[in-house]
Structure 1
Amino acid sequence: MTRDSSASSLIVGGAASSPRAPLPTLPPLSLYIHIPWCVRKCPYCDFNSHTASPVLPEQEYVDALLADLDQDLHAVYGREISSIFFGGGTPSLFSAEALGRLLEGVEQRIPFAHDIEITLEANPGTFEQEKFVAYRKLGINRLSIGIQSFQQEKLKALGRIHNGDEAVRAAGMARLAGFDNFNLDLMHGLPDQSLDDALSDLRQAIELNPTHISWYQLTLEPNTVFWNQPPVLPEDDTLWDIQEAGQALLAEHGYAQYEVSAYAQTGRPARHNLNYWSFGDFIGIGAGAHGKLSHPDGRIVRTWKTRLPKDYLNPAKSFQAGEKALTNDEMPFEFLMNALRLTAGVESRLYPQRTGLSLESLAEGRAAAEQSGLLQVEPSRLAATERGQLFLNDLLQQFLN
């Protein structure tokens, strides 16, 4: 992605026939906070995470996060935050004291919605579990616990540092700490995993009664150990069997699939992620964090922050590494690559509300996608068909200019 500060609202090609209008209302605003350290880097992980030193620079990093936020405040004046997500890395490596000072500093700068959702990613290790009560007292009201598997040989293959018993205990500790809303992260398609192995993990997760399960397939990403030293993964037929049987099992136990890899009990989808997928706004602070902000005049700007922790903490370097104003041509793809991840899609009227463009700017790609059987023929909604959900990349290609 290249730096581009253009705010032009009339671009040659694609959507040029639809000038961008001022946005009638600004979308909900979320805050993403990136904590980039882990005890150990997992071989499949391509996130911006780094092995932690014995002593984390908590105070310095919180100071930097608040200074980073200060530089974004001009763009969100008068708005409130509807959700906060601490991601990583492993945010639960930070003490409750550090996170408390950070949350207090954030609330002094931007008002919190009365029903704000605040999520913290946590590992299931005993060290992190001991902090759950303190985190809950800070106002953090949702945990996302990185289980991945309950089976020791699979955890070892994934480079995880917890064991299956700790994973089970973590859910109980979350509930005892007062978290009545928590997610379990679980992977499938693991090295040498059978259908029975995958369903055993899923049954164990369901038995722990989380409100939300993120269940996604392991993929080999560039710049990871697994990319350079690929493990033996299940055959395609086994992967398909796992997907079908797993989705049926989740549905049977009341976990409705509302996004490609997200399943929730009634009324418990992740509000923070729903804001991403419905093209809402979010500030991103922390090493490597990304943001997206809409402006009343119709400009929509994506930003990204300095990636390496040592550079992010260096006062001589800028927090922001780059920014890009989205052009009209880019808007259909940018909007739909999020919205079409939702199994129910979104109401068609959300597109002009969130982009400032008319639905006519989608007409050509929409007709082609409907004709190919990838997009539902439903004027009031933008939603993938079942086939379109399986071939989402092919569907999105129809909206690239």
Structure 2
Amino acid sequence: MSVASELKDLFTKNLRTSGIYIAFVLIIALFTVMTDGLLLSPINVTNIVLQYSYVLILALGMIMVIVAGHIDLSVGSLVAFTGAVSAVLVIGNGLPWWVGLLAAVGVGILSGVWHGFWVAIVGIPAFIVTLAGMLLFRGLTYLTLSNVSLSPFPSEYQQVAGGFLNGLLGGYGYDLFTVLIGVFAVVGFAWTQLRSRRARQKYDQKVEAMPMFLAKILVVGVVVMWFFWQLATSRGMPIVLIILGGLIITYHVVTTRTVFGRHIYAIGGNLSAARLSGVNVKKVNFWIFINMGLLAGIAGAVFSSRSNGAQPGAGNMFELDAIAACFIGGASTTGGVGRVTGAIVGGLVMAVMSNGMQLMGVDQSTQQIVKGLVLLLAVAFDIYNKRRAGASR
């Protein structure tokens, strides 16, 4: 296939997957101009990572829930509850900081078991189960904290979301360790793309033209190195970014390279066909919600570390941010479609918009209106693509 035809497909046939990346670039350019370049300053790039990491963590679990044809409305309340449990143990009872982290993750997993039982075993729709969970965990948060906030956490706990690995290879006017991490990321991406290309060629599958392939590697490499350079010239490598990066790689592999991941897509794409193919639907659904609870627990630990305490109203609207990230990133409202990378880019779109509007001094009510309109347009775009695909058959 020629480069010209591939570029045409990028903006026509493949618009559903490529559209979010094009929109992301345009949004960054727009807010960069409107903030006089402040959006892309080193310190602000670092702040975006720190401020929105927990939403991206939630989006990793939410994309699997949505692909399977479900929804989870409880994750915001669960973030608050897990953070509250951690605060009571560490701040209220003086236990070691790592006990609080393990407790937050453990409570998240148990909450996922609770949801998985009602959805997978009993057969109650996930919308109802997680709506009940949203109320249940919010009430448990109030009870756990006795309707008051708890702070501060020990300095070690605060390092989870606010710490940096800097100075490990310093003395250059920037953090060399962070730059090397960026180099390793680019090399790893190029190697996996080349390996995937060779595998497709081996089975006589269609691959993109070499100029397009090299251009993709170059563009991604430049963007990644620019990003890590901004971090290196600011405060170094955020610890939370290492956590988030590890989770992204893990869940990308799980959803694209494992039997469990293929079963999730099979259930969301055609439930009856999945059952006839021997997929254990109950087991897969059960583990999907356990996984969502696990990630909500991690997000609760990260958010409580970031806010240096636990508040009864913490996590408000987080579930909507995670759901919006998935749909903006290309997930389908009917299940079966969605990617981890798309959910992350969708979350970054939300993060850049929120951060850009904050830098511009836009009030909170207007920010919510803009987010709502963007989500509506994303879903409308999904419906438009389905209709266009159906009409072309």
Query: Greater helix share, 1 or 2?
Result: 2
User: Higher relative CO (CA 8 A, sep ≥ 6), structure 1 or 2?
Assistant: 2
> TM-score when scaled to structure 1?
0.23
Query: Greater strand share, 1 or 2?
Result: 1
